[in-house]
Chain A
Amino acid sequence: MIRETYLNALTLGLFVVIPAWALIADEPFTITLMTRAAIFAIAAIGLNIALGIGGLVSLGHAVFFGIGGYAMGILAYHAQTYTPLAEWPFLIDGTKSMPLIWLVAVVVSALAAFVIGTLSLRTTGVYFIMITLAFGQMFFFFTISWAEYGGEDGLSIYVRNGFPGLNTLAPIQFYGLCFVILCLVLLFTWRLSKSSFGLALNAARQAPVRVETVGLDPTRLKLVAFVISGAITGLAGALFADLNRFVSPTMFSWQTSGEIMIFLILGGVGRLYGPVVGALAFVALEHWLGGLSDYWHIYLGILLLLIVLFGRGGLIGLASGKAAVHD
C-alpha cells in the first residue's frame, strides 16, 4: 500500500519524466500521447468539481468540451480565411492567439454551464443525469446541422494557434504549455476545495438540509460549482482542438461525456489527483489495449464494471488501500 501523497507525487513525476525521455529518445508520438493525457486530465478535473465535490452526476460535460473546441475552431477558421466573425454591431475578427481563444472558450462555456445548470438544477438525481445528457445531445445535433462551420464534417485548422514566445508546433513546447495549465488547474482546485466555498459545497452534497438550515442556498452553491466545472472543461476542449487542429460534432457526443466520466472513475472520484491518474491510465490503456485488439472497448468495459462493482475509489483507492473518499 502506498500513501496517497506519494502516489500523487509519482503521477505528477510521470508527467515530467515520460515526456523528457520521449524528447531525448526522439519519440514525438509519446509526447502527443502525454499531451492528450494532460488535456483529458484537465477536462476531468473540471467534472470532478461538479461531481466529486458537488455530487452533481453530469452526463453532459461534452457540451463544455465541445464549446471549448468550437471556440477555437471558429475563431481560428475566421483568422485563417481572413473573414470577420461578425460585422454588426461592431467588427469582430478571428484570432490565432491561444490566450484569447482560451478566454473565449472559458467565458462561453461558463455561460452555457450557467444556463444548463439553472435549468437542470431544478431537478435532482436521475432527472439531472438524463437532462444533462439530453442537453449534450441538443448541442450535438445543432453542430451537425450547423453547415456554416462544417456541419457533420467539422473544421480543420491548418496551423496550430500561437502562444507568445513559444513555437507551439514543436510537440514538447505545446506539451509544456498544457502541463503548466494542468498544474495551475490542480492548484486552483486544491485551493477551491479548501476554501469556504469548497467546504460549503462539500456540505451541500452530504447534507443539503443542514446547509440550508445554516442559511446557505445549496442550489446556488451547486450552480456556481457547475459553472466553474464547465469553464475548466471548456478550457480543456480548446486545448484538445488545438492538439488535433480539428473540431467536429464528435466532441459534443454523449460518448465524450461518458469518457470524461470514465477518466474520473478510473482514478477515483472526489480525489484531487483522481482525474490525473485516471486520464493517464485511460490513455495508456487506449494505446496498449488498442494495439492488442481492435475491440479494446470490451476490455475497457469489463475493467470499468469491475471498478464500479468491487473497487470504489478507483486506482488511487486500490493503490492506497483507502476506498472511497466519501459516501
Chain B
Amino acid sequence: MSFLLLIEQVLNGLQFGIMLFLMAAGLTLIFGVMGLINLAHGSLYMIGAFCAAAVAAATGSFLLGLVAALAGAAAAGALVELVVIRRLYDKDHLDQVLATFALILIFSEGTRWIFGSFPLFLNVPDFLSGPITLPGGIEYPLYRLTLIVIGLLVALGLYMLISRTRLGIQIRAGENDREMIAALGIDIAKLYTIVFALGAALAGLAGALVGAIQSVQVGMGEPVLILAFVVIVIGGIGSIKGALVGAILVGLTDTLGGIFLPEALKLFLDPSTATSVGSSLASMAIYILMAAVLILRPAGLFGARA
C-alpha cells in the first residue's frame, strides 16, 4: 500500500463525491424551496447522459454533447414540473413519492423504447484523455481531474448564485416563507419552474460527465439517486453546504472503504476471508456512516429542520 496509491484513491473518492454533489445539490434545493421529494431526479441524470451520448455520437463533439445534456435535462425538468410536479407541492410526501416513482417508470421504459436496452458509449474527448503528472510525480487521468475542477466550479457558481443574485434572494426567501414572497409580487410558479429546471440541469450535467467513464444505460440514475439521498440525509436537507460536505464524505468513504477495508482486515484474518468480509463491509460502509450521523445528529450535519 504505497503513498501514491493512497493519493490516487483519495482523488477518485473526491471525484465520485463531487459528482454526487451535483445530484444532491439539485435534490436538496428542490426540497428546500418546494418541499418536494423527487425520486425522478435519477431519471434526469439518465436523460442528461443519453442526450450527451446521442449528440456526441451524431456531431463528434463532446462539448456539444455536454450542452445538449444541460439543455435536454433542463427542458425535461421544466416540462415535468409544468405537467406533473406542480400538482404535487401541496400533497403529502406519500403522493410525491408515488407520482415521482411513476415518472421513473415512464422515463426508464420510454428511454428503453427509444434507445433499446443496450448501453450507449460516450468517449472521453481527445483533449482530456490520457494521464497528467501531478506535483510529486503522481500520474492521474486528466478527465477525472477535470471532473473535480468542474464540480468545484459549479459549487462555487451555485454559492454565488444563491448568495449574490436576485434569483438567489428569491430562492432563499422561498425556503423561508413562500406566501410572503408571493405577496411581494414575485411569480412563485415561475420561480419553482426555474429552480426545478436548475436542479435538473445539474443532474443532467452529472449524468453526461459520468457517462464518459461508465456506460450510458437505462437505470443508471437510480443507484446514484439513492446515494444522493444518503448524502443529503448526512448533510441536512435543504443545505447546499451540507450537500457538498456530505457528498465528499460519502465519496471518500465508499472509495477508500472498498480499497482499504479488505487490506486492513488482512492484518487479522486470512486473505480470502478478509477480502470477502472486507468487500461486504465496504459496500455497507456509507450506510453505517449515515446511521452514525443520524444517531448523533438526527437533522444531519448542517440541517436546520428535521
Contact = CB atoms under 8 A, between A and B. Distances in A.
A129 B35 CA distance: 14
B102 A301 contact: yes
A177 to B, nearest CB: 32
Interface string B87-99: 1000111110111
A298 B299 CA distance: 36
Residue with the greatest number of chain B CB neighbours at <10 A, chosen from A129, A133, A137, A262 = A137
Contact of A59 (B97, B106, B230, B280): B97
Interface string B225-241: 01001101100010000
A308 B97 CA distance: 10
A309 interface: yes
Contacts of B168: none
A118 B110 CA distance: 39
Given A137-B287, A142-B283, A258-B101, A309 B226 contact: no
Contacts of A125: 93, 306
B222 A254 contact: yes
Contact of A302 (B104, B106, B222): B106
B37 interface: yes
Contacts of A141: 283-284
A144 B283 contact: yes
A122 B279 contact: no
B226 A124 contact: no
Interface in B251-306: 276, 279-280, 283-284, 287, 290-291, 294-295, 298-299, 306
A146 B103 contact: no
Interface residues of B, number: 44
Residue with the greatest number of chain B CB neighbours at <10 A, chosen from A138, A145, A258, A308 = A308
A261 B97 contact: yes
Contacts of B306: 123-125, 127
A221 interface: no
Contact of B229 (A134, A138, A305): A134
B294 A138 contact: no
| Interface residues of chain A: helix, strand, loop or mixed (majority) | helix
Contacts of B87: 309
Given A145-B276, A304-B101, A123 B294 contact: yes
Contacts of A148: 276
B113 A146 contact: no
B233 A127 contact: yes
B105 interface: yes
A265 interface: yes
B105 A126 contact: no
A85 interface: no
B97 A57 contact: yes
B12 interface: no
B175 interface: no
Interface string A145-177: 111100000000000000000000000000000
Given A134-B229, A134-B230, A265-B98, A146 B280 contact: yes
B43 to A, nearest CB: 11
Given A119-B291, A141-B283, 8 more contacts: A122-B298, A126-B93, A131-B294, A146-B280, A298-B106, A298-B109, A301-B102, A308-B91
23 contacts: A119-B291, A123-B298, A123-B306, A125-B93, A129-B37, A130-B229, A133-B226, A134-B229, A134-B287, A135-B287, A258-B101, A261-B97, A262-B101, A295-B110, A298-B106, A301-B102, A301-B104, A301-B105, A302-B102, A305-B103, A308-B95, A312-B95, A327-B92
